[in-house]
Structure 1
Amino acid sequence: MSGRHTSAAPARYWLRSGLLTLLERGCGLVFAFGTAALLLRHLSKPGFAAWGLFLIAGYFVEMGRAGLIQNGLVRHLAIYRDRKGHYAAISTASLLLNIVFSLACALLLWSGAGWLSRTFNAPAIEQILPVYVWINFAMIPFTHFNFIQQANLEFRGVFWSTFCYRGMLFAWVSWCVLSGRPVELYDLAMAMLAGAVLGVACSWLFARRYLLHARRVDGYWLKKLAGYGKYVLGTNLSTMFYKNIDKLSLGHLLGPAAFAVYDAAGKVTQMIETPSFSIAQVVFPKSAGYEGSDNKEGVKRLYERSVAAILAIILPFVALVLLFAEPIIHLFAGAAYMESAPVMRLTALFGLFMPFAVQFGTILDSTGKPAVNFLYTLFTAALNLALSWLFVLKYGLFGAAFATLTAYTVSFVLMQRYLFRHFGISALNAIACLPG
């Protein structure tokens, strides 16, 4: 099961894998960005807020799935890639975890729709959230195939499945706009479901050469993967919480219109995060090989160079947002959302902390320290919750942004202290690695 990528030169691996994962994240972002730009002009603010809540609920499910399954599966398959018995047992145990997780999420989605509707004053969420139950089931094979490809350093299917999944929704919204058909929330959810099913077929085409499963579930690997994944699950959910608590606080305390305005700014600055997660996806299989080798210098070099690479990409985007916030918002969301521009200048600064935080988690998870990563992420989430509740009531939209920026700053200092003590990693060294 070694595949043809394992013997490739390191430089070729980074170039090919980095490009494909950046394209995968990039196409997903472009489709999401384009879809949001159209919806901001063709949905009311309450409608856009309801759709935003639908997406957040879906993100929680998928980030939870990735946390429980992805890193553990990729890490162990990367280690046992040439031992077919272990490889098959790991794949089967991971698939069972995926199914159990999806069943639990289906129950939560069905039962939680009414609560979300009442809490955020978004009645439409009760109609569309049940559709995500079926998307959730489609994501079982979708993610299983993609994670196995990642473990084998194959990223083509990941790109094309994401292209189909994200592209279908964009294509549907574009067709509605061009044909004059009203944009309905339920139709949007069904378009996402169709994209997920198409993505499954596409991912399977590339993953099938790496698929190998056992006839029985190995209890040892089931327990091992669940034990590893529970911390990453907690980390990912905490990450989703602290990344969204600002706008969720706005929605609950100030209503759906405030949520929509803040979310418009957030959609623009999301593009700054794309390089962070793209490079993390490439770094993880490589850094997993350092566990148990006591190669702190290798971990240090990997962290500092990957952070520098991300910063080199995102700094121009941050500068553009800071300088041209008003025309960017007008072009993206229209005149109805111009009050988002000053807030967007603050949310753009979040991206400066993201490379350090994402690579912190990648290094700790891949070197067998997911519990430590979980504790740091949970602390950041709790701090952001407390600050958001205080600042939103006093400062409104700006309060939400200030709360998140403050939480990121405190978390950055604590994370860098840990990395320096345990790996000799310095943020200054990462900055010094910037080109030019």
Structure 2
Amino acid sequence: MRLLTIMVAMMLATPVVARASDPVSVVLKPAGIFDGVDGKVHAGWQVIVTGDKIVAVGADLPVPAGAQIIDLAGDTLMPGMIEGHSHLFLHPYNETTWDDQVLHEPLALRTARAVANAKATLLAGFTSERDLGTEGAGFADVGLKAAIDQGIVPGPRLSVATRAIVALGAYGPKGFEPGVVIPQGAEEVSGVDQIVAAVRRQIAAGADWIKLYADYRWRPGEESHATLSLEEMQAAVAAGHDAGRPVAVHAATAEGMRRAVAAGVDTIEHGYGGTQEIFASMAAKHIALCPTLAASDATARYRGWNGSEPAPPSVELNRTSFRLALAAGVPICMGGDVGVFAHGSNAREIELLVAAGMKPAQALIAATWGNARWLHLSDRVGAVKPGLLADLIAVEGDPTVNVGAVRHVRLVMKGGHILPDSAGIGMPRL
């Protein structure tokens, strides 16, 4: 008994030595921290990361024994940005038209390109991304997400929508002999039973989000018209929400937007036809708008616009609807419809939000904590605060003064792991 007492006493008196398998702490020391929540840059703050989580944030933090210290003098540390509207399986339309991508590019080619697009997006500082449709590439986004999650290829944390759901005959490609079966860029439905079945089929295949088209062009060159009925959208939303899946809706007309709002969707994409009344309804129901300013800007440039003012009508319409939404207090989702323009240049949307009337800090919040909330990710990412995943980036300068600083990413950390390609700072996986 006396021997056992001595042994216990010796064990209690012996200092605990960290095992080789214990995670190493990392201390990030930037010039300041934009935490994503309050819109300020906090000078002198530091962050301690252990494993894949943020464990401490603030000034004059005690440095854990054996911690790796990374000096980011002159840089602002902020949450990894979140892309709200992308298509990783598309590439810019001035390279290859949408029709040709859907009809003629092999799935293996499109998937290989999507892998490269995912890496470019991550290196640009976007550590999470909502991909809203594979545009003819089936369920390949589910496989890409799995490859990223398993560490096979680098990329953002993906939320995927698989195949968008459209009204029968209302999408594309078009322009072929009537009756000839042509591969489509989305899943076609007609009626409540079919749309509910499509929603459930996609959820079973791995969809995190459901993407609907409330309106589109029935024939090439026509104006957009409402396509899915209110009853169809209500049924799709109910089926999605029953399974815990939020619903995003492409809506470019006033009627399409009215139906989407009435159906209780979670986000509306584009919103070009929005009115004060519609945006007031969206604000009251906390439905976020992804204005995709960069998409209309890019397509106008492909058609010959050189960027000078006055802007083409399509660009001005997009700006006007965004300003109406902003004035109405609609939550703004930062999403550029990337794929229409080059992956990795996602920050283009943030700059255009500021140019159209948002303050830099507002646009940065939209790209971080705002998107985390609207996209149902706020329990994991979107802010620099203890307990969240260590998805962090460092940018050169102060982005709240010059929002263009988000294009100058000096370091990317995802889940506590610094990408060597992002800053030349090698570090073992924690």
Same fold (TM over 0.5): no
Structure ID, larger Rg: 2
Q: TM-score, normalised by structure 2?
A: 0.28
Identify the structure with the greater strand proportion.
Answer: 2
- Answer 1 or 2: higher relative contact order, Cα 8 Å, separation at least 6: 1
Q: Write 1 or 2 for the structure with the bigger share of helix.
A: 1
